[in-house]
Amino acid sequence: MTGNQELTQRWQGALMDNYGTPRLPLVRGEGARVWDAEGREYLDFVGGIATNALGHAHPAVVAAVSTQIASLGHVSNLFMAEPTVALAERLLTLFGREGRVFFCNSGAEANEAAFKIGRLTGRTHMVATDGGFHGRTMGALALTGQPAKQDPFRPLPGDVTHVPYGDAQALAAAVTEETALVVIEPVQGENGVVVPPAGYLKAARAITAATGALLVLDEVQTGIGRTGTWFEYQAHEGVLPDVVTLAKQLGGGLPLGATVAFGRAAELLRPGHHGTTFGGNPVACAAGLAVLDTIEGEGLLGNVKRQGERLREGIEALNHPLIDYVRGAGLLLGIVLTGPRAPQVQQAAQEAGFLVNAPAPDVVRLMPPLNLRDDEAGALLQALPGILDAANGDGRSGE
């Protein structure tokens, strides 16, 4: 039995079957590279589903985590620690607004807190979007707009209306004086990197402002530089959300989520309303600070824009029959295929030493680390024609 097969068998024996069997057991990572249990190297364009802002084992994150855990590992929320305060202050500086932060451990939890903030307005109705993804806990799942994930768990909490994504008229029709919040992803990541029409977020801001509903932007996937600005909404003029939820990249690989609220939304959670034991854990927050420092210090927002454009242009210039076009922003890219071959592309890419994923049957998603290098982007561009040929069933085959 190979090392990969052995780990797979142990996984199947010991872990619940909720993810199915992962396609590859990984044992080590460095930058954009990972190695499997047999020592085979891959370039990681999945980035831990967009969690690895700086790639694997970044020295700044390793140092911050090691130093922090050696001095004060965890304090619970009966007490407080400096890195937690510092990260909250730092995030608010990046937003450029006064507000308050609630720290938690995941994207779903960040959205659960937003759900509760919505309830504390005294209104109960919520509006979310078809195809949207906000997490798997029951509140976050109620906001999610993907029936296959929701149906086994109905009834879901809350009074949630789902409207077509990107349709400002449908949004305006659904939002009433009873609506507590509207939750939107600036780009729908899990749904296949779906970009709304220009002006959609601005319209959502106007619609919610007119009825007194909170505008919650779920930036769990788009935030912390993934799209080339600190937060994707900052690339849209005239959009100031009431609440922004964050996770994934924020912790540089550690579990860390945040619900950031502004104005009256920042004052609604009162003592006793909400909490979680590990929320604001100083080790995770120290990692978060290292991530933000490194993005800033190394000018990575510029790199995201540069590499994102290069990949987009390079992929479209291949003129491959399997490629329709590339959509997305920064280093959150969806290669839209001319047919439902994304799982085959994912498999062919893995065989060629590249990790990508297939959020929809006809979309291949790329979300490499923000510090992706020229040679790494170039390696994918060079390998793609062969990968696409293999996935298309013509040419080199792994079958």
User: Which part of the chain contacts ligand PMP (CB under 6 A), choosing from 102-110, 281-289, 355-363, 389-397?
Assistant: 102-110
The least distance separating ligand PMP from the CB of residue 250, rounded to whole angstroms, comes to 10
Would you state the structure tokens that stand for residue 93, as one six-digit string? 């500086």
Positions in 207-246 near ligand PMP (CB under 6 A)? 218, 220-221
Q: Which of 199, 189, 190 is nearest to 328 (CA)?
A: 189
Give the residue with the Cβ less far from ligand PMP, 221 or 392: 221
Is there a contact between 236 and 186 (Cβ–Cβ < 8 Å)? yes
- Exactly one of 125, 134, 236, 365 binds ligand PMP (CB under 6 A); that residue is 134
CB of 187 to ligand PMP, least distance (A): 9
Would you state the torsion angle of the CA atoms of residues 133, 163, 184, 18, taken in this order, to the nearest 10 degrees? -10
Q: In this structure, are residues 300 and 225 in contact, taking their beta carbons and an 8 Å threshold?
A: yes
**In angstroms, what is the C-alpha Rg of the chain?**
21
Residue 223 or residue 323: which is nearer to ligand PMP going by CB?
223
Is 287 within 8 Å of 253 (Cβ atoms)? yes
Q: Residue 106 interacts with ligand PMP (CB under 6 A)?
A: yes
Site for ligand PMP in 24-83 (CB under 6 A): 49
Percent of the chain as helix, strand, coil, to the nearest 5: 40, 20, 40
State the nearest-atom distance from the C-beta of 381 to ligand PMP, in Å.
26
The answer to whether 355 and 44 are in contact (CB under 8 A) is yes
- Reading the block at residue 318, the tokens are 């291949």
d(CA 205, CA 213): 9
Q: Which residues are annotated as a binding site for pyridoxal 5'-phosphate?
A: 107-108, 133, 218-221, 277
Please pick, from the candidates 102, 133, 262, 354, the single residue that binds ligand PMP as defined by CB under 6 A: 133
Q: Which is nearer to ligand PMP, 105 or 294 (CB)?
A: 105
Q: Which of 163, 180, 247, 301 binds ligand PMP (CB under 6 A)?
A: 247
Candidates 131, 189, 253, 369: give the one binding ligand PMP (CB under 6 A).
189
Least distance in angstroms from the C-beta of 133 to ligand PMP: 5
Q: Which is nearer to ligand PMP, 65 or 141 (CB)?
A: 141
For 145, residues 6+ apart whose C-beta sits below 8 A from its C-beta are 128, 129, 130, 131, 132, 133, 162, 165
Burial (CB count <10 Å: 0-12, 13-18, 19+), residue 304: buried
Q: Which uninterrupted H or E stretch holds 112?
A: helix 107-119
Q: Rounded to whole angstroms, how far apart are CA atoms 236 and 238?
A: 7
Q: How near is the Cβ of 144 to ligand PMP at its closest, in Å? A: 8
Q: Which stretch binds ligand PMP (CB under 6 A): 106-114, 121-129, 306-314, 373-381?
A: 106-114
Q: Which residues are catalytic?
A: 133, 218, 248
Q: Taking Cα atoms as reference points, which of 234, 287, 242, 360 lies closest to residue 51? A: 287
Which of 175/220 has CB closer to ligand PMP? 220
Q: Please report the beta strands in the chain, taking only residues with DSSP state E, as ranges in sequence order.
A: 26-30, 33-36, 41-44, 99-104, 125-129, 159-163, 179-184, 214-218, 243-246, 257-262, 323-329, 332-337, 354-355, 357-360, 363-366
- CB 188 to ligand PMP: min, Å: 8
Site string for ligand PMP, 279-308 (x = CB under 6 A): ------------------------------
User: Annotated binding residues for N(2)-acetyl-L-ornithine, as ranges?
Assistant: 136, 276
Considering the complex, what minimum distance in angstroms separates the CB of residue 117 from ligand PMP?
Answer: 16
End-to-end CA distance of the chain: 21
Q: From 77-85, 133-141, 356-364, 378-386, give the range in contact with ligand PMP by CB under 6 A.
A: 133-141
Residue numbers belonging to the annotated binding site: 107-108, 133, 136, 218-221, 276-277
Binding site for ligand PMP (CB under 6 A): 49, 106-108, 111, 133-135, 185, 189-190, 218, 220-221, 247
